[in-house]
Structure formats: structure tokens, C-alpha cells
Amino acid sequence: MASSAFRVSQSRAFCPRAPLIPTSLTDPVRFTFPCRQRRGASERLPLRAIVVTATEKPNKRQASRDCAFVDEIRVVAMKLHTRDQAAKEGEKEPEGPPLFKWEPTIEGYLRFLVDSKIVYGTLETIIRNAAYPWYAEFKNTGLERSDKLAKDLEWFKGQGHTIPEPSPPGDSYAQYLEELSKKDPQAFICHFYNVYFAHTAGGRMIGSKVAEKILDNKELEFYKWHGNLSELLQNVRDKLNRVASNWSREEKDHCLEENEKSFKYSGDILRLILS
């Protein structure tokens, strides 16, 4: 018995994640980011100690990424969703009708696609020119969308629709991204993450709803990826975590704080669908 107790004690001593395992999957669990020694009690902990509720048993991949920086971004970003966007994690009050009540128009959707193309094209140009060497990590990830959007706009043109000029929401966001990429790389990466990852989740759902209502269920190129999307996303997650591993805690917190602006700019473009 004494030997067994020693082995259990010794196992816990070498398993820093053991305290994170909840006794009940419905109880609140406190995750502190990142895995490092705590600061003094007198120091502030902005965006570091985040309480979430465990709703399902974590799988092995989740367990291996408990302290990954991408998980920090996701937790903060999900809290900025509304309840109809993310029923379990969203906390923001909706500014308009819920998605299922949307009444999109072709004209509004075209404005959304045009402004989205400006944003994605800007992101891809920034990454290609790499003002900071580690931007090059994100070249040719398979998530790029500007060429896909160009094909979709050509299709609409072939259907007799007039393609509008970019509108203020898209132009403003593109300009902001250009400025940010040169002077504030951590904040820029927050936008990079949100723009690409949001489109693979909520963006696809919105595209499906719009196609159902006004496009006779046609699937646009904007919502298609070559290869396995899950693998493409995981590859980018790994790159983001690798890049962020060289950041200070203050730089990581600064990146997290940019989520609010990222959601504002993207939300302005999204609402063009209803214009």
C-alpha cells in the first residue's frame, strides 16, 4: 500500500496537467494561460485566467494542446460571439436579427463578397511580402480565399449581375490591416487568425443559409477548399503556436486584446449581406 501511494504521488508530481482534470464534467474548470510560473499577487492578469465550463471529455489532441496559444485566442474570440452564433460560449448581445431570420439580397451579398475579397487579398499580399520574417510561415496554407472570390464574382457577372466597387467597411479594414502589419505584428496575427478561422466555421454556415435563400443552393468557390480542411487548419494552428512561443506574455496579451477590433471590422462587412 505504501509503495502504491508513493507511485501515485510520484505520478502526480510529474504530470502538471493532472490538476486540470475535473472531478465532474459539469463543474467549472479554471485554466490559466500559459503554462508558466504565476506572477506575484500584486500584478494584474489581463486575459490570462479564464473560467470555462467543461461540457465534454477532452480527447488526446485537446489534452496535448492545453497550453497552446491558439486555444487562448479561441476562448477570448468565442466570448465575443452572440448566443445565436455560439449557443454555449457566446456572450455578446446581438446587434441585428438572428441568422435564421436573415433576409439577404443579391446586391448586399455581392457587396459582402467584394469587400471580403479586398480583405483576403490584403492579408495574402501582407504575408507574401513579409514585413516580419515569420509572416512567411503563413504562405500557401491552403486557406487563401482571394482567388476563389474572384471566380465567384466572375460567375455572378456571367449571370448578368453588376459587380459593385468596394465599400467603406472593406476599404477601412484593408487599410487598417496594412498599417497594423508593419507596426504591430502581434495584433495583426489576431486578425489573421479570426478572418481565416471564422470563415471555416460560422462563415460556412452563413454561406449555406444565403445560398439556400437566394442562390438556389449553389455552393460558391468561397466555401470550397482543396484537401482536408481539418488538416489545413491544424497545420496553421501549429504554425501560429510555434510563432507565438517566441512572444513575451505581454505580447500574447496584446494579441488577445485585439479580438474586439477584429470582430468589429468583420461584423461591419458581414452586415453588408442585409444591405
Summarised one tens digit per residue, pLDDT across range 9-56 is 444 443 444 443 344 334 444 434 444 444 444 344 444 333 333 333
pLDDT at 127: 98
pLDDT in tens, 246-269: 999 999 999 999 999 999 999 999
What residue spans define the domains of the chain? 101-274
**Average pLDDT score over residue span 111-121:** 98
pLDDT at 199: 96
pLDDT at 187 over 60: yes
pTM over 0.85: no
If you average pLDDT over every residue of the chain, what do you get?
80
- Lookup: cell for 275: 444591405
Q: Does residue 124 or residue 102 have the better pLDDT?
A: 124
Per-residue pLDDT of 86-106, as tens digits, reads: 445 544 666 666 666 789 999
pLDDT tens digits for range 192-204: 999 999 999 989 9
The CATH code belonging to domain 101-274 is: 1.20.910.10
Q: What is the pLDDT of residue 215?
A: 96
